[in-house]
Amino acid sequence: MGEVVVVTSGKGGVGKTTTTAALGAALAAAGDTVCVIDFDVGLRNLDLVLGAERRVVFDFINVIQGHAKLTQALIRDKRLENLWLLPASQTRDKDALTEEGVEYVINDLRSRFDWVICDSPAGIERGAALAMRHADLAVVVSNPEVSSVRDSDRIIGLLDAKTERAERGEGIPKYLLLTRYNAARASRGDMMAVEDVLEILSIPLLGIIPESEEVLKASNVGSPVTLSNPASRPAVAYAEAARRLRGEDLGEVVVPVHKNGLFGKLFGRNAA
């Protein structure tokens, strides 16, 4: 049985879709079978970030309404044969995403794939609730910025109350992925420090993704950043987060430091 992961945040624009694509591609490149699902009905974008937008025929809602078989709606990635996408509907009413339909699709995918990664819409409404509902594990994406951290705290509360695992009393493992981390600003004290965010949210850290122009370049060309430039800093950080998800013990997450700062000179690490 595969693992169902929800990538969620509450706040929009923090990097959920980028993260879903990058983690999905990294897990698939490591040899696992992966299906990424776009839950953002009406505002789908995972297809665009993965470069599959011209190949969408059927979508999640078509499957739920019985107009297409699940296997017909799945789009196989052109670069990684283990990576598949279930696109959201762009035009239908988001109420078409029913609880029973989502449960059926997730259970079916869970039996076919090692990983089912649900890209949650922003907000705390129906779409976000359904995306997290059947998750075995949550990746909470946050920027080191007050409104993002506050919304992440809210989402953590919902994960502990509204998921199936929480309702069964099992609790749901939650991991923080800190994105758009700018080591230069952090070294000047202009950005919340990693330890501050961790203390506020009190969930374990999965990784720190440095702010980088590579992320924008990757979405421009429709490729997960782990594929478009695997040697880039965000790609390396995402690949490491994927290895942690696969259960590898990599020790503590290393906080990126700024190369022009005293710390960077002393320890020779590069900036974001």
Q: Does 230 bind another protein (CB under 8 A)?
A: no
- Cα–Cα distance for residue pair 215/97, rounded to 1 Å: 30
Enumerate residues 79-108 that contact another protein by CB under 8 A: 89-92
Q: Which residue, 71 or 107, is less far from another protein as judged by CB? A: 71
Binding another protein by CB under 8 A: which of 79, 126, 217, 259? 217
Is the Cβ of residue 59 or residue 211 nearer to another protein in the bound state?
59
151 burial type by CB count under 10 A (0-12 exposed, 13-18 middle, 19+ buried)? buried
17 binds another protein (CB under 8 A): no
Among 30, 68, 96, 255, binds another protein (CB under 8 A): 68
Task: Specify the residue, 62 or 163, whose C-beta has the smaller distance to another protein.
Answer: 62
H-assigned helices in 30-114 = 46-49, 60-64, 70-73, 99-112
State the DSSP string of 218-243.
Answer: HHHHT--HHHH-TTSHHHHHHHHHHH
CA distance 136 to 138: 7
Check: CB of residue 77 under 8 Å from CB of residue 125. no
Taking CB under 8 A as the criterion, the residue among 107, 147, 220, 260 binding another protein is 220
User: Residues in contact with another protein, total (CB under 8 A)?
Assistant: 26
Q: Six-digit token pair at 191? A: 């950005």
Least distance from another protein to the Cβ atom of residue 228, Å: 9
> Which stretches of the chain bind another protein, using CB under 8 A?
48, 51, 53-59, 62, 67-69, 71-72, 89-92, 216-222
